[in-house]
Amino acid sequence: MSKLSHYDDQGAVHMVDVGEKAPTRRTAIAAAFVSLSEETIAALPDNPKGNPLEIARIAGIQAAKRTSELIPLCHPLPLSYADVECRLAPGGVELTATARTTGQTGVEMEAMTAVSVAALTIYDMCKALDKAIEIGPIRLLEKTGGKSGDFRRNDGAAQDI
């Protein structure tokens, strides 16, 4: 069984030293779902604050770039790409975030942070219409690059690829 990388041999929490790792191209894709009432979905185009989906997309991109400021032991990464897609779906909004870098550690946290903040932004912009908004699940769909290899979630089950 592998050990958790953020603990040293004495059990103290620490930031992982990635200085000796070779840089590789890394990509991560994460997803989230925001459950909204049909009335709230119908009202999205008329939101006086602006287009909630476009604002959520920009908020998610900004969040990806600032992940290391939010998650205490994350390394700051020079992202070569970050984007969030927001799609209306039955019962709410599907969010997908993609993050890329060439570096010594992965971008899973950047993609997960992007969809989380995008989902929270939709909540913030729609809460006046719907107090029963739900967010989730938030999950990693895919990651490529790095020593641990590639991963892809298929039909709800995790698989190394």
- What would the pLDDT profile of 87-143 be if each residue is shown by its tens digit? 999 999 999 999 999 988 889 999 999 999 999 999 999 999 999 999 999 999 999
Amino acid at residue number 68: S
- Do residues 79 and 110 lie in contact, with contact meaning Cβ atoms separated by under 8 Å? yes
Q: What is the mean pLDDT of residues 76-86?
A: 96
Nearest residue to 148 (alpha-carbon basis) of 104, 102, 97, 99: 104
Q: Are 153 and 142 in contact (CB under 8 A)?
A: yes
* pLDDT of 14 higher than 70: no
Domains, the chain = 24-144 (3.30.70.640)
In which residue are the tokens 């999205």 written? 44
What is the chain's Cα-based Rg? 17
Q: In the structure, what pLDDT confidence band is assigned to residue 81 with cuts at 50, 70 and 90?
A: very high
What does the alpha-carbon distance between residue 107 and residue 102 come to, in Å, rounded to a whole number? Answer: 10
Catalytic residue ranges: 124
Rounded (10°) angle between helices 108-126 and 52-65? 150
Q: Which residues lie below 8 Å from residue 94, measured CB to CB, with a gap of 6+?
A: 31, 32, 33, 86, 87, 88
> Tens digit of pLDDT for each residue in 17-72?
676 777 889 999 999 999 999 999 999 888 887 899 999 999 999 999 999 999 98
pTM confidence score: 0.87
